[in-house]
Amino acid sequence: MASKIGILTGGGDCPGLNAVIRAVVRKAINEGYEVVGIKNGWKGLIEKDTMALTLDSISGILPKGGTILGTSRTNPYKKEGAVQKVVTHYKSLGLDALVAVGGEDTLGVATKLVAEKINVVGVPKTIDNDLSATDYTFGFDTAINIATECIDRLHTTAESHHRIIVAEVMGRHAGWIALEAGIAGGADVILIPEIPIDIDEVCGLIKKRHSRGKTFSIVVVAEGAQFKKSSHVLQEQKLDEFGHVRLGGIGELLAREIEKQTGYETRVSVLGHIQRGGSPSAFDRVLGTRFGVKAVELVLQKKFGRMVALSGGTIIDVPLEAATGKLKTVDTEYYELAKVFFG
């Protein structure tokens, strides 16, 4: 009976997932393994919804965004009897190991399943770049390139109409997208979840810029940013299975306050899921490929309960709990660099 590796992709989709799937399948087949694709993240393992992954099924997927396996935000630990179903189906499928590709939530489940005797290897994925123990997650580079292009486009219309434009980007608890896309796009103010918004300071920076003869400004804000003495701005109160709310709306509130305090016409552009979609950048294709190959190597070495990671240009492996125990947030020094260009 041939050895089998399962692979699933969970949480929010992002560019580069298919590069990981392709790499896992190619490397595994080269090593004599069969590969079973688990559909729709942990939901697929609960429902035993799978597909065979062959060289034919991965042909041509490298440049495609999203994931051919589908995804979900299903949490087995929030459904009665679901963990036992995961364990039972893992065994009945004859899997020797499982490659779990995801962010904090997906890999958090993977970490717990190690105690259930499931041979898990993790691959870090999130456009937010907020997983500890890895310099970068794939998906992030594409997201900041897309956001930067959008900011570039907003510059021209803001200048033409003499407006302030607020660009709301993704970033629940970490401001990496806002910071790096803001720096690359020449934003005049960048607001991140790590530092509460001082609206008086923001308006002061915009007025200072206008006092120099400028007639427009670009403000980049992460969706998870919040005003001082305030809570997160929510789209709705409902929680997902990992306890997260849907964020969004900070851009609108910020724009209203800026226009009220400065008198300058202000508009909002919410980038939303545009940042997740489309073809992955060359960097994300290569990083996803390297992660996928390394994941199979960990399986071959029977190094389970580990996650692949990028460290100083080298692909290494770290304990799964090291990646999910604490979020990687923007440090003060990096933000101070960005502030040099504010206003």
- Residues marked as catalytic: 128
The CA-CA-CA angle for residues 154, 175, 142, to 5°, reads 60
Eight-state DSSP code of residue 227:
B
Burial 246-266 (b: 16+ CB within 10 A, else e): ebbbbbebbbebbbeebebeb
3-state DSSP assignment of residue 316? strand
Strands 217-222 and 314-319, bridge-based pairing: unpaired
Closest-CA residue to 179 (of 328, 17, 12): 328
- If you compute the radius of gyration of the chain from its CA atoms, what whole number of angstroms results? 22
Eight-state DSSP code of residue 245:
E
3-state DSSP assignment of residue 37? strand
The Cα 176–Cα 211 span in angstroms is 30
Half-sphere exposure of 40 (CA within 13 A, CB side): 12
Strands 266-270 and 217-222, bridge-based pairing: unpaired
Instruction: Describe the strand order of the beta sheet including 164-169 as a list of residue ranges.
Output: 189-191, 217-222, 164-169, 266-270
Ramachandran angles phi, psi of 95, nearest 5°: -75, 135
Tokens for 93? 């499928």
Closest-CA residue to 86 (of 71, 96, 75, 102): 75
Instruction: State the angle between helix axes of 282-300 and 17-30 in degrees (0 to 180), rounded to the nearest 10.
Output: 40
